[in-house]
Chains A and B, each alone.
Chain A
Amino acid sequence: MTIEEIRELIHVVCSSGIAELEVQRGENRVWIKRTAGAVVADAPAAPPPPAAVSVIPPIAAPPEGVTVAAPQAAPPAGTPDLTDPTLQPVKSPIVGTFYEAPAPGAEPFVHVGDVIQPGKVLCIIESMKLMNEIEAEISGTIVKRLVENGQPVEYGEVLFLVKPS
């Protein structure tokens, strides 16, 4: 399980009412528990920070785990807030190679900042010469692209973050 996937699971816990989440894949197991929600006083302009969560790998020390602290301030204006728990990841359904465009040198399917609708093709993941068009499942705005053109991607790797509209 990659750091990216763990980060994403934290997002899932933070953006839902779930108190505790355990996920096992093969020999990897991760347990995420929401502790007392961090409340930042006197910061009405800042977005509500996500609750603090603990990530405890089952085998690795330390036993009390790693605490991921909630951000204390809003990011500078103009840059997307990548910790925003409402951001939705677009993940790769297969192991393969990421392509931003239908052909080398062609215009990419999407750019950061684009407004997308369900069914919009975002990229191609090629695996064993099977070209897999990845389509948007929600409407929103592309806030970030996390992979480079031609880069190998893993199963479940986050490709884009989308701010739902």
Chain B
Amino acid sequence: MFTSGWIPMRRIEWHDTIDSTMRRAAELAREGCAAGTVVAARTQTAGQGRLGRTWDSRLGGLYFTIVLRPRLEPARVPLATLALGLAVADTLQIFVGLSVDLRWPNDVLIGDRKLAGILAQLQEGALLAGIGLNVNQREFPPELARIATSLRIETGSEQNPDLLLPALAGSVESHLKILETSGAAAILRLFEAASSYAAGRRVRVEMPAGEITGVTAGLTAEGFLRVRRDDGAEVTVTAGGVRPAG
């Protein structure tokens, strides 16, 4: 059950329910769909998270994957992760008047609670950007209540996902365009301005060799997070797993 339409120059495939927008987008990418194609759903039965985790995809949220084909050298592609978080933050500021925080590399937060999750995969020769945004959920089950929030909870009013979606998709594309045309430095500056985690924030980080604690010290030219440990040594974080430390 879906409607398939064109919102000026863009194909949006809307599903009431789907297993996973990432899976369907990969299928479309394999078939050679145009850049900017979107698969969206009101609920997912098998919403994907990072490394085989699931993403809670109950009714009330907006779940979509956009197929992108950026002209970027491979070493630059991971910076797209930062661009995706910036795109969501920008849209919410403009459309909902809500200021969000970005936790490196791509968690969209209000305080310490997650408002949106982003999953980026290079697959089928395309960059698949999956975004799960908590929109109209009035509450979350106990296991998520302390770590998740929604636009409804934060603003007290309902939002229309059908209007948010094209705005988010357009913002994703324009932020990737910034990366393509203005390079890494422009995205790094925007991220440092938008994220309380970029510098001066005390954090714990899961690293392959164990957890470290320290203070964030800006981003490297590649977009990795610098953390100055308590013993003075500087560590470059390339994966994720950044959490606030007391």
Contacts and interface: CB of A to CB of B under 8 A. Distances in A.
B123 A130 contact: no
Contacts of B224: 95, 128
A131 B239 contact: no
Contact of A93 (B74, B80, B120): B74
A135 to B, nearest CB: 9
A96 B81 contact: no
A104 to B, nearest CB: 6
**Size category, A interface:** 20 to 34
Contacts of A93: 74-75
B103 to A, nearest CB: 11
Contacts of B118: 129
B208 A150 contact: yes
Given A128-B223, A130-B121, 4 more contacts: A99-B51, A104-B51, A129-B106, A132-B122
Interface of B is mostly: mixed
Interface in B193-246: 208, 222-224, 238-240
A126 B119 CA distance: 11
A97 interface: yes
A104 B53 CA distance: 9
A129 B240 contact: yes
Interface string A137-161: 0000000000000111001000000
A21 interface: no
A103 interface: yes
> A-B pairs with the 7 shortest C-beta distances?
A103-B52, A93-B74, A127-B78, A128-B105, A128-B78, A130-B120, A132-B122
Contact of A130 (B51, B53, B80, B208): B80
Contact of A96 (B79, B80, B238): B238
A106 interface: yes
Nearest to A155: B75
A57 to B, nearest CB: 24
Interface of A is mostly: loop
12 contacts: A96-B78, A96-B238, A102-B51, A126-B51, A128-B223, A129-B106, A130-B77, A130-B121, A131-B50, A132-B77, A150-B208, A152-B208
Contact of A129 (B77, B120, B208): B120
Interface string B71-88: 000110111111000000
Given A129-B118, A130-B120, A150-B208, A94 B106 contact: no
Contacts of A155: 75
B208 A128 contact: no
Interface string A115-136: 0000000000011111111000
Contact of A128 (B52, B79, B119): B79
A130 B238 contact: no
B75 A130 contact: no
Centre residue among A93, A106, A126, A128 by max chain B CB count within 10 A: A128
B23 to A, nearest CB: 12
A129 B208 CA distance: 14
A35 B74 CA distance: 35
A133 B123 contact: yes
